């Protein structure tokens, strides 16, 4: 097996790293937006921007205490850009999902399905292990989606402990590493999607108002535990991924494709939030006028509805648009070179 080749950027001046930093920042913004949207994979967006191989390589190097300038530039640019995108757009994305659920979910379906050919291109020729992985991934994700639809995995911000927020951050971190797996969708299945976005939005509002007291709650309750989970998840999942891909490449990539296909089950677009009825039990408590007054639309339970012909047509158009958008971004970065040792 040939040894690693030299990285042409290894001894280059800092100015030579500017194009790499800009491309990495673009990938970071796309990854940040992806982590706000159920159904879009942050890993796929990094792959599309052409920095995914260097991102994985950079994490592996840093965890082994090797600090090369190209890797540090990629990791720093991606991290900062993703964090800014999440901080600035969390509230807007949350409001759009709550107010225009069927429209947003239709787009999410297209964006999700657009990741299938992206991951399939990494797989190449199918074999039995790839097919088995795809079947397992599809069934597992579909099962989680059906459980979520029945309220099995749903929680709320008030019920969630900092430990649960940390676990949610760890789960969401998988999307930063695995092309095709959506951290936002995993958070949606866990019932932590809206609580985390709400916490980020509260943090942003307190920061804008320079209210130190108001910063404590969202920082200690949401931001810090989620951030810790993300760090642990990124480091752990990246190294596990490298190990799995080195030993079970076909099975692993097939599993990722299955997760993408199965995710569509939980993104059925024609559902809407409904106000809980007075006197009924909801999330372990009796719904009273006082309880109802404290509820935000984002906390309402959802139900499926029969779409009109216009909604079906619009949904199909949005699915097609989302599919083409993911493919378009993927092709945009398809010709970018990999780091030393990459394909």
pLDDT given for residue 339 in this prediction: 53
Q: Which has the closest alpha carbon to 193: 84, 78, 81, 298?
A: 298
Helix (H, G, I), strand (E, B) or coil at 286: strand
Domain encompassing residue 107: 14-270+306-332
The reported pLDDT for the residue numbered 282 is 63
Q: How many CB atoms neighbour CB 217 within 10 A? A: 14
Nearest-5° angle of CA 71, CA 245, CA 240?
65
Alpha-carbon distance of 205 to 307, in angstroms, equals: 36
What tens digit of pLDDT does each residue of 175-221 get?
Answer: 667 766 667 667 766 777 778 877 887 888 888 888 878 888 888 88
Nearest to 41 by CA among 145, 111, 142: 111
Q: What is the DSSP letter of 16?
A: G
**Number of domain units in the chain:** 1
Pairing of strands 302-304, 271-273: antiparallel
pLDDT tens, 127-169?
A: 999 999 999 988 987 876 676 555 544 444 445 678 888 888 8
Tokens linked to 233: 């998840």
Q: Domain for residue 288, yes or no? A: no
- Which pLDDT belongs to residue 11? 54
- Kindly state whether residue 5 falls inside one of the protein's structural domains: no
In which band, very low, low, confident or very high, does the pLDDT at 2 lie, cut at 50, 70 and 90? Answer: very low
- H helices of the chain, in order, are 18-36, 42-49, 52-63, 69-99, 101-123, 128-149, 162-177, 183-190, 193-208, 212-218, 224-247, 249-263, 289-294, 309-332
Q: Do the domain assignments include residue 255?
A: yes
Q: Are 129 and 58 in contact (CB under 8 A)?
A: no
Which residue has better confidence, 234 or 49? Answer: 234
Band (pLDDT 50/70/90 cuts) for residue 57 is confident
Mean pLDDT calculated for residue range 20-30 = 85
Signed CA dihedral, 85, 90, 95, 96: sign only: positive
Which residues are CB-neighbours of 78 under 8 A, at least 6 positions away?
A: 24, 25, 27, 28, 31, 46, 51, 55
The larger pLDDT score, comparing residue 152 to residue 320, is at 320
Q: What's the CA gap between 155 and 196, in Å, rounded?
A: 12
Structural domain includes residue 43: yes
Q: In degrees to the nearest 10, what's the CA dihedral of 156, 161, 163, 169? A: 30
Q: Does residue 215 lie in a domain region?
A: yes
Output the pLDDT for position 92. 84
Helix (H) or strand (E) segment spanning residue 281: strand 281-282
Question: Shortest CA distance to 87 belongs to which of 229, 225, 204?
Answer: 204
Residue 214 lies in a domain: yes
Output 177 or 236, whichever has higher pLDDT: 236
The per-residue pLDDT of the chain, averaged, comes to: 78
pLDDT in tens, 59-89: 878 887 888 888 889 899 999 999 898 888 8
Q: pTM for this structure?
A: 0.65
pLDDT of residue 313: 96
Residue 271, pLDDT score: 84
Residue 259 lies in a domain: yes
Supply the pLDDT for residue 8. Answer: 55
Q: Is residue 298 part of a domain?
A: no
């Amino acid at each position: 097996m040939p040894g690693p080749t030299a990285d042409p950027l290894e001894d280059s001046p800092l100015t030579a790293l500017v194009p790499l930093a800009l491309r990495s920042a673009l990938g970071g913004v796309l990854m940040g937006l992806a982590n706000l949207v159920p159904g879009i994979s942050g890993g796929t967006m990094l792959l599309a921007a052409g920095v995914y191989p260097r991102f994985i390589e950079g994490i592996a190097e840093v965890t082994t205490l090797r600090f090369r300038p190209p890797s540090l530039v990629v990791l720093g640019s991606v991290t900062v850009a993703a964090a800014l995108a999440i901080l600035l757009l969390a509230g807007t994305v949350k409001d759009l999902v709550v107010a225009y659920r069927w429209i947003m979910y239709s787009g999410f379906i297209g964006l999700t399905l657009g990741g299938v050919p992206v991951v399939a291109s990494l797989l190449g020729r199918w074999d039995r292990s790839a097919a088995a992985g795809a079947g397992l991934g599809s069934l597992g994700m579909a099962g989680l989606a059906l459980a979520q639809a029945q309220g099995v995995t749903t929680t709320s911000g008030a019920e969630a402990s900092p430990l649960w927020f940390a676990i949610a951050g760890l789960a969401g971190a998988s999307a930063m590493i695995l092309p095709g797996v959506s951290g936002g969708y995993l958070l949606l299945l866990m019932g932590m999607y809206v609580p985390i976005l709400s916490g980020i939005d509260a943090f942003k509002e307190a920061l804008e108002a320079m209210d130190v007291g108001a910063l404590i709650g969202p920082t200690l309750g949401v931001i810090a535990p989620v951030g810790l989970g993300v760090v642990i998840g990124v480091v752990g999942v990246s190294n596990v991924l490298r190990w799995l891909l080195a030993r079970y490449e076909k099975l692993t990539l097939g599993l990722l494709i299955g997760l993408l296909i199965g995710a569509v089950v939980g993104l059925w677009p024609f559902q809407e939030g409904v106000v809980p009825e007075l006197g009924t039990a909801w999330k372990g408590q009796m719904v009273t006028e006082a309880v109802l007054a404290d509820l935000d639309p984002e906390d309402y339970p959802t139900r499926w509805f029969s779409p009109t012909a216009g909604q079906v047509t619009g949904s199909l158009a949005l699915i097609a648009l989302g599919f083409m958008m993911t493919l378009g971004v993927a092709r945009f970065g398809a010709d970018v070179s990999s780091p030393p040792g990459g394909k």
